[in-house]
Amino acid sequence: MKQHLLSWTLWIPLGGAILMAFVPRDRVGLIRGWALLTTVGTLGTSLAVLAYFDKSQAGFQMVEHHQWIRAIGASYHIGVDGISLWLVVLTAFLWPVCVLASWNVTKNPKMFMGLLLALETAVLGVFLSLDLLLFYVFWEGMLVPMYFLIGYWGYERRVYAAVKFFLYTLLGGLLMLAGIVVLGFQAKHALGHISFDYKVISKLALSHDIQRWLFIAFFAAFAVKVPLFPLHTWLPDAHTEAPTAGSIVLAGVLLKLGGFGFLRYSLPLFPHAARAAVPYVVALALIGIVYGAIVCAMQKDLKRLIAYSSISHLGFVVLGIFVFTIQGLQGGTLQMVSHGLSTGALFLLVGFLYERRHTREIADFGGIAAVAPVYAGMFLIVALSSLGLPGLNGFVGEFLVILGAFVRNRTWAVIAATGVILAAVYLLWAYQRVFHGPIDIQENRAVRDLSFREGLAVVPLVAAIVLIGVWPKPFLERMEPSLQRVRARVVVGATAEPAAALRSTKAATQVGGR
C-alpha cells in the first residue's frame, strides 16, 4: 500500500469525478456528499504520505516509476520530496473546504463538482510529477477545468476573466513546452537516448547558452503563474470573477505552481542561468511586493483587494527563492503554504459575506462585527495572519524571507519589509471599513453569523494558521533537506562551461546528418 500511496492520492479525485458521471443530475445531496467523501479520502491518503515521509531524506520518496511512452522517453514517474510534500498536503486540505464552500451551487452542481475534482488531480499531478512530459500534461490539463469554473459559475465579467486566464497561462505554458522538448533532446545528445525523466535531466551538464534559453522558456510559464509583475494582470480579474471555490483554489494552490516551478525546475536544472537572473527576478519580486500592496489599498472590491494582496505576498516567495540562502528558501516555501491557508481562508470568508449580501463592494459594508461577531473574529485572525503578525503563520514565512534577503543584500530586505507595513495598511483599513464603525446600511443588520457548515470549513483553516504560526518546526524541518539540496545545486553549481562534447544541438545535428 505504501508503495502506491502517491498514485492513490493522485487519482482518487479524478476517479471520483468519473464515477460521479453516473449519478443522476438531480440527486444534488448525493453529488455533494460524494464530492466531499472523495476529497476527504484524498486528504486521508495525503496525511498518510505525510506520516510516512522521512524527514531526514533530501531526495524523492514513495517513488513510482512505470512505462508510459517508451518511444519518446516519457514515463509515469512520480515522487514526493520536502518541497512538494506540504504543497500536496495543502492541496488535499483545501479541497474539502472548497466542496463545503460550494455547497449551495445551484447551476449544474454535478458538473461543478466533477470539474473541481478533475482539477485536484491535475494540480496534484503537477506537484508529484518526476517526468517532464507528465508534468506538462498536468500543467496544461489544469487550464480547462479552471477555465470552466471561472467562466461558467463566475460573476459579471466571468467570460473576460476566464478567457484572459486561459490565454495568458497557455502562452506561458506553450513557451515552456518548447523548452521541455529541447531539454529532452539535450538528454539524447548527452546520453544517446531521448528522455524526459527528471532524474536523468537533472544530471545533464547543460551549456550556459542553452541554460539561458531554457530558463527563459520555463520562466515564461512560472512567472505568469506566480504571478510576477508585470505579468500579473490576469490575477485580479480571475480571482474576482471566480466563484468562491474557484478563488480558493486559485489563490490557495494554483498560484503556488509558479514558486514550485522555480524550486523544482528553474533552480536545479539551470543553475547558471538562475544565478544570472537574480538581479532581474529580485527586482520584479520587490516591485511586486510593494506595487501589489499599494494598488491593493485603493481597491473598492473586497475580492479584488485580496487578489492584489496575493501578488504582494507571492513577491515574498519569489524573493525568498532567489536569494539562494537557506532561510530565504525555507521562508519562501513555507510562505507558499501559509499564503495558501491565509488567502484561501480570506476568499472563503468573503464568499460567505457575498452569499449573504450579494455585493463585494467595501462601501456597502460597515459594522458587520456587531451582528456577526464570530465571523468577524475569524476574519480578524486570518487578516492578521496575512499581514504577518507574529504567532500566526504569515509571520514565520515573511520573517525568514526577510532574514534570508538581509544576509544577501540589506536593501532588498528593507524594501521587502515595507511590504509588511503596507500589508498592515491595506488589511487593517479594509477590516475597519467592513467590520467596525456604525451600521449605516440597513441590509447589514440582517447579516447572519457563521452556520455550522461554514464553521466546519473555516475552523480547520484557522487552526492550521495558528499551528504553523506557533509551531513551524515540523513544517520547516521536513522542507530543509530538499531545499538544502536545491541550494547546493544553485550556489555551488559548476561555474565552468561543460565539455564541448556535451554542448550545442546544432553541432551534433550537422555532424551526425539527418
Partner 1 sequence: MPTPEIAWRAIAPELALVGGGILTLLIDAFRPRVRRDVLAGLTLASVGLASWFTFDLHDKREVVMQGSLAVDGVALFAKMILLATCAMAVLISYHYLTRRRIHRGEYYPLILFATAGMTLLAAANDLLLVFLALEVLSLPLYVLAGFARRDDASQESAVKYFLLGAFSSAFLLYGIALMYGATNTTSISGISRIVGAAEPRLVFFAMAMLAIGFCFKVAAVPFHMWTPDVYQGAPTSVTGFMAAGTKAAGFAALLRVFLVSFGPLQWDWRPVLWIVAVLTMVVGSVVAITQTELKRLLAYSSIAHAGYVLVAVVSASNDGTAAALFYLLVYAFMTLGAFAMIIASAPGGHERLSLSDWQGIGQRHPLFAGVMTLFLLSLAGIPPTAGFMGKFFVFSAAVSSGETGLVVVGVLTSAIAAFFYLRVIVAMWLQEPEPGAMPLGPSPALVAGLSIAAVVTIALGVWPQGLIELARNAGIFTG
Partner 2 sequence: MYLGAFDLQRRRQLAGPLWRAARNRLYIDSFYEFLFTGVGKVVATALAFVVDTVWIDGIVNNVGRLMALLSAQVRRVQTGYVRTYALAVLAGGVTLVGLLVGRTH
- Binding interface with partner 1 (CB under 8 A): 67-72, 108, 111, 133, 136-138, 140-141, 143-144, 148, 151-152, 158-159, 162-163, 166-167, 170-171, 174-175, 177-178, 181-182, 184-185, 188, 194, 505-506, 509-510, 514
Site for partner 2 in 286-315 (CB under 8 A): 291, 294-295, 297-299
What are the start-end ranges of the E strands in 132-281?
Answer: none
Binds 298, which of partner 2, partner 1, none (CB < 5 to 8 A, cut-off by type)?
partner 2
Q: For 66, phi and psi rounded to 5 degrees?
A: -130, 160
Q: Is 407 in the site for partner 2 (CB under 8 A)?
A: no
CB of 88 to partner 1, least distance (A): 21
Minimum distance from CB of 10 to partner 1 (Å)? 14
CB of 54 to partner 2, least distance (A): 45
- Mark 53-72 with x for binding to partner 2 (rule: CB under 8 A) and - for no binding: --------------------
Q: CB-wise, 155 or 428, nearer to partner 1?
A: 155
What is the smallest separation between the CB atom of 280 and partner 1, expressed in angstroms? Answer: 21
Cell numbers placing 378: 475569524
Which residues in 233-252 contact partner 2 (CB under 8 A)?
Answer: 233-234
Q: Are 68 and 197 in contact (CB under 8 A)?
A: no
The verdict on 164 binding partner 2 (CB under 8 A) reads yes
Does position 379 interact with partner 2 (CB under 8 A)? The reply is: no
Residue 173: which residues within 8 A CB-CB, separation 6 or more? 136, 139, 140, 143, 221
Which residue has cell 525523466? 197
CB of 107 to partner 1, least distance (A): 9
Q: Which does 58 bind (CB under 5 to 8 A by kind): partner 2, partner 1, none?
A: none
3-state SS, residue 61 = strand
Rounded to whole angstroms, the Cα distance separating 7 from 19 reads 17
Closest CA to 420 of 450, 396, 447: 396
Q: Are 97 and 461 in contact (CB under 8 A)?
A: yes
Residues belonging to the chain: 514
Short-list 186, 183, 192, CA closest to 504: 186
DSSP type of residue 243? -
The residue whose grid cell reads 546528418 is 513
Our CB check for partner 1 shows the closer of 8 and 68 to be: 68
Q: From partner 1, partner 2, none, which one binds at residue 104 (CB under 5 to 8 Å depending on kind)? A: none
d(CA 286, CA 280): 10
Site residues, partner 2 (CB under 8 A):
164, 167-168, 230, 233-234, 291, 294-295, 297-299
